[in-house]
Amino acid sequence: MKKYVYQFEEGNYKDKKLLGGKGAGLCEMTKMGLPVPPGFIITTEACLDYNKENRLPSGLAEEIRQNIQAVEKKLGKNLGNENSPLLFSVRSGAAISMPGMMDTILNLGLNDKTVQGLAISSGNERFAYDSYRRFLQLFGNIALSVEDEKFDSVFNEIKAKYGVKLDTEMNAQALKEACESFKKVLREEQKEFPQDVYKQLGLAVIAVFKSWMGKRAVDYRREFNITPEIADGTAVNVCTMVFGNMGNDSLTGVAFTRDPGTGENVLFGEYLINSQGEDVVAGIRTPKPIAEMVKEVPVIYEQLEGVRKTLENHFREVQDFEFTVEKKKLWMLQTRNGKLNAAATVKTSKDLADEGLITREQALLRVNPEMVQQLLHKSVAPKFTGQPLTKGTAASPGVATGKVVFTADEAERRGKIGEIVILVREETKPEDVHGFFRARGILTSRGGKTSHAAVVARGMGKACVVGCEALTFESNGKVARVGETHILEGDIITVDGSTGNVYLGEVPTIDRGFSEELSTILSWADSIRTLGVRANADTPTDAIKAREFGAEGIGLCRTERMFNAAERLPIVRDMILADSQEERIEALKQLFPMQKNDFKEILKAMEGLPVTVRLLDPPLHEFLPSAEELSLEIDQLRGFKHLLDTMEQVPKSVKIKEDPILKKYVKLLRHMSTELAEIKDTKLWDKILEKEEIMLKKVRALAEVNPMLGHRGVRLGITYPEIYEMQIRALLEASAELIKEGKNIMPELMVPQVCTAQELIWVHDMLQSLKAEVEALYGAKVNLKFGSMIEVVRACTRAGRLAEIAEFFSFGTNDLTQATFSFSREDAESKFLPLYNQRKILLNNPFETLDIKGVGRLMDMSIFWGRKTRPDLKVGICGEHGGHPKSIEFCHYLTLNYVSCSVYRVPVARLAAAHAKLKEGKEDFLYKAQ
């Protein structure tokens, strides 16, 4: 028969999935000899069986009775005894700490008779009825589902009647009255308060079991990805009550063995005299800092200092513990691993290792790689209590405050004159990148974590919130709204890219940076990991920051990002609009020195480290406005020209103020661009319109049914070879010039969207021809590695053949994931992926967490066949997955040489790569591409 109940002396601390974290901690403290009130644990299996059958499992009630008898024997008290009653607390406890998410009932065992016995046996009538009124409210709310407010309302009336403000000021008579009023509330709600103490316990156990599936617990598990494999069901901890509310020689408190906010090695916590644990947690009264105990109760403080050292030396981890002092006697009610913020986790990891309590390897595994990024950005000050205006998807961490602007041009204009701005858009496009450079943060109403805004913002280390659906825009594009709140250009807002919160006005922030402890932790990680870490960087500034963050090179330099710069985009558009190859070459000649200088500065910044330059990848239409935008603009230009023509025909003798039609024209003109209003030359107007119409025709000609699978990448380079020729020459000349200057550079050239070896051969032949030309021109040999992106499924199946030409592969897992699933990323994330995740059709979003069984298998195949052809084939990954810890773990398993991620993910990747090495061969390293 299944055993459902364990005494504290019986339980095994390591079996948290069965006993829950709280129960396991009570068992271990009991075995350590710490003062723990006797009690027992009802296992998580009982909870699962209850939730499955909707009734208590067979035999459980008898097991509970037997264990109550064992506790009664230890204490010489009995549950339900009318003279000296035994009382219990009934508390939840899952394998993973979920503070406040499930239910607790204190003082169970009180009824109309036992409360009198408690008053007599304790010699404290006030204490007895204070405990009873607490029990009535907790039990009524949790076990009988009566709203707390109904109890609070009558309780406040009684306090007013007796002229007191605080609970502690109420005398025994007032508390007796409260008990009677609470029972009346239950009767009015047609709820029966059980005088039978065993019935009380049965209902309390059921209430705790039910709280596992309560909304807040379910939401919490979803938010923190606590799956059934990690924690399934809650245990119930039935513990003898000890009382912190027996007078001024009693108290209750919560403490940490170190400061959870800073990591400082001091006893940290709060306490309340003459109170119970719920008072501290619920904030009914303002607790005192634990440091004040030195003066108020020095003996207890000294005991807690001893407990602190005992717990840390035993668990070798920062502990969060609860305690009660009853009549000057200290009791321990809980201990668990403390939840610390990122800074405290890093500091305590280093300190615990330095103190010899844990090894360096254990210190590294203590720090969740995702935490590291929190230390590199501003964050909202912990003490700030303001409410957000709205919330979207947290896409790029950090906090940014600035003036609202609605266009990239306006962001650039204001940014150039020193204004701090937040770019607010329905969605962003590649041509908005110049606005990104000047904006402090980005907010969009559309898009997901892998949308353009999110990807670019992460790459730049800028705070970004996307998919903020409550945010709507007026038709003129100059006003946004959230409900009834209007947001105008120039208004101050704050976006928190770590939480997704958006605030009106400025909020207080704190700076984050590379602390001494973080630098040490990352240096330990570097000494262990075997997987290299590079950065995706497109500018010299990014390259310098990447190197500062510990990147060992650039794994992806996207040349199209350089084309989007404000001063270059018109030239790029001229190149696209060219009617002949000659015209196109002329435009490319203007771009050449800019591209060459970009490469030179990036290579110089990364001297001694590899820089992988990807040739132009996106389709040309991405550099042009959309057909809809152009059509609207042409209509507006025509209308504006008509207005101006009309105004010129008005006789000078006519007074505008007196003519209603002319007044309307003037009003319209005022809403038009002032720059356009200054153009008086009719021929110039015609030229502007003609150019816009030509661009519209080109946009329509370039339009594709599915552009992400269309004319892009190497296909574009073969169609317009002069584009790739310009880029390759720029890279070669930049390299040659630096070599002549004595710089140690390591350039690499990568071809995107390859599906056949013939494409690689075509580009490689061009490279060899240009290389010979440039080397002869400069008298310098350029050592440049040639490689291929692997982002097309056919390329994975032909990897062995591609490796005959390519010296390295780099997986573009964003596009490879789209191709493997046949998902359009933007559509999938906005339409059905959340539902797939919710219904467990897919456990993760494959654009955030690498799909091991599908995409992973293709990667495995590519590496196998590629290295069979070329054993020294270098293999990396440069998609967004390159910065995701679980994906990095899989990349380590596949023996990739490096991962490449956005600059601000580099420290995350360094630590994640160390985790992967440390987990190698262990039970939790489960990845197999099968």
Which residues are catalytic, by number?
Answer: 452, 878
**Per-residue tokens: 149:** 């407010």
Beta carbons within 10 angstroms of residue 47's beta carbon: 28
3-state secondary structure 248-316: CCCEEEEEECCCCCCCCCCCEEEEEECCCHHHHHHCCCCCEEHHHHHHHCHHHHHHHHHHHHHHHHHHC
Virtual torsion, Cα 549, 550, 553, 555, nearest 10 deg: -60
Count how many residues are written for the chain.
930
Where b means 16+ CB within 10 Å and e means fewer, 470-501 reads ebebeeeeebbebeeeebebebebbbbbbbbb
Strand pairing report for 268-273 and 288-289: antiparallel
Contact 598, 733 (CB under 8 A): no
- The C-alpha atoms of residue 631 and residue 624 are separated, in whole angstroms, by 13
**Per-residue tokens: 861:** 């195949």
- CA 230, 236, 242: angle at the middle one, nearest 5? 130
Contact 886, 336 (CB under 8 A): no
- The C-alpha atoms of residue 780 and residue 774 are separated, in whole angstroms, by 8
DSSP string over 150-166: HHHHHHHHHHHHTT-SS
Residue in 425, 92, 435, 67 with CA at minimum distance from that of residue 231: 92
Strand pairing report for 485-488 and 874-877: unpaired
What is the residue whose two structure tokens read 């270098």?
Answer: 874
What is the residue whose two structure tokens read 């820089």?
Answer: 611
Collapse the DSSP code of 467 into the 3-class scheme (helix H, G, I; strand E, B; otherwise coil) and give the result. coil
Q: How far is CA 218 from CA 138, 211, 224, 232, 637, in A?
A: 21, 9, 10, 11, 55
Contact 95, 231 (CB under 8 A): yes
End-to-end Cα, the chain, rounded Å: 38
What is the residue whose two structure tokens read 């001494």?
Answer: 516
What is the residue whose two structure tokens read 């103490």?
Answer: 197
- The C-alpha atoms of residue 564 and residue 424 are separated, in whole angstroms, by 19
**Which residues are CB-neighbours of 544 under 8 A, at least 6 positions away?**
605
- The C-alpha atoms of residue 421 and residue 410 are separated, in whole angstroms, by 9
Collapse the DSSP code of 901 into the 3-class scheme (helix H, G, I; strand E, B; otherwise coil) and give the result. strand
Q: How far is CA 53 from CA 49, 203, 601, in A?
A: 6, 16, 68
- The C-alpha atoms of residue 152 and residue 671 are separated, in whole angstroms, by 57
Segment holding 205, helix H or strand E: helix 197-211
Contact 765, 725 (CB under 8 A): no
* The residue type at 756: T
Helix 540-548 and helix 581-605: axis angle, to 10°? Answer: 30
**Which residues are CB-neighbours of 101 under 8 A, at least 6 positions away?**
211, 214, 216, 217, 220
Contact 917, 890 (CB under 8 A): no
Residue in 806, 703, 829 with CA at minimum distance from that of residue 748: 806
Strand pairing report for 463-466 and 439-444: parallel
Segment holding 795, helix H or strand E: helix 793-797
